[in-house]
Amino acid sequence: MRKKLWILGTLFCFLAVNTVNAVKVLKVQSSGLADVKVYVTNSPGLADCVIYVEESSGLADGNARWFYVDSPGLADVRVLFVDSPGLADKKIFFTNSRGLAKCDVDWAGYKK
């Protein structure tokens, strides 16, 4: 019985630990609503982050994989896409390959 309780307790701890999930992103149209402003570059070498957009939040993990949401309540970060690199907080590049996605930015840390 003690061993079963220990196993259940261990499983619960693994399930309770918050694993790294996709960054849930809400696109906004106003800088007043945005947590962070990003500029999309044409080259991964110029970007702070190389981003892959997932179609399912369950498939994504880490800061380099985004999942777009429609509700502000579900978003980890609200992003405004700007047309000038000088106006941006971060520069990003979108990739079509999960393996090339990389990012050290803590997007949730920008949340106001």
What are the φ and ψ backbone dihedral angles of 29, each rounded to 5 degrees? -110, 0
Distance of CA 30 to the CA centre of its chain: 20
- Which pair of tokens denotes residue 16? 């309770």
In the chain, what percentage of residues exceed pLDDT 70? Answer: 79
pLDDT digits (tens, 9 = 90+) for 5-24: 566 666 555 444 444 567 99
Question: Whole-model pTM?
Answer: 0.77
* pLDDT (0 to 100) of residue 15: 44
pLDDT in tens, 73-103: 999 999 999 999 999 999 999 999 999 999 9
Where do we find the tokens 């800088």?
Answer: 31
Q: What is the pLDDT of residues 46-75, one digit of tens each?
A: 999 999 999 987 776 789 999 999 999 999
